[in-house]
Amino acid sequence: MEEMNELKSKISSQKLLTESDIKNVDNKNNNLDQLNDISQTFQKSNTKLNNIIDSIEKYVNSKNNYNFTDSFMNLIQDLNNINQSMTIHQQLAYLHISVSFFVLLSLFSILTIFYGDYLIINLILVSKFPKLAKFI
């Protein structure tokens, strides 16, 4: 009886071992597939960023600098083509970054206005330095 129980326990432990080995191999395959997908995604993103950089470099290094409107319109068209090739999630991410940048820039502008008024009032710059007070 005890021998039978030992055999059963050995067989069950071997089955568990092989099942866990199979699960590990499956997990490794899944992980490799996910890494390949991530690698392809990064490559696509890298090519898109290179397109953006190339269009900006083309604008900066263009020999048409005397004709600003044409070169600027070419830059806008290139960026528009890149924007149209983006997925909706990428466009939303771009919009989010742009709006965040705009909000921070506006907040900085408002803070400098209030700080300038504070300096003018508390340091009595109007009477001491009227030209500087106009500038601030």
SS3 state of residue 113: helix
| 37 neighbors 29 (Cβ within 8 angstroms) | no
Alpha carbons 36 and 45: distance in angstroms, whole number:
14
7-36 pLDDT, tens per residue?
666 666 665 555 555 566 567 777 778 888
Neighbours of 75 (CB within 10 A): 16
Q: Into how many domains does the chain fold?
A: 2
Domain housing 126: 88-136
Q: How far apart are CA 8 and CA 78, in angstroms?
A: 71
- Whether residues 68 and 101 fall in one domain: no
Residue 111 to residue 124: CA distance in whole angstroms? 19
Same domain, 93 and 72: no
The CA distance from 68 to 36, in Å, is: 44
Does 29 lie in the same domain as 67? yes
Residue 115 and residue 96 share a domain:
yes
Could you tell me the pLDDT band of residue 103, with boundaries at 50, 70 and 90? very high
Whether the full predicted model's pTM is greater than 0.75, yes or no, is no
Q: Are residues 13 and 58 located together in one domain of the fold? A: yes
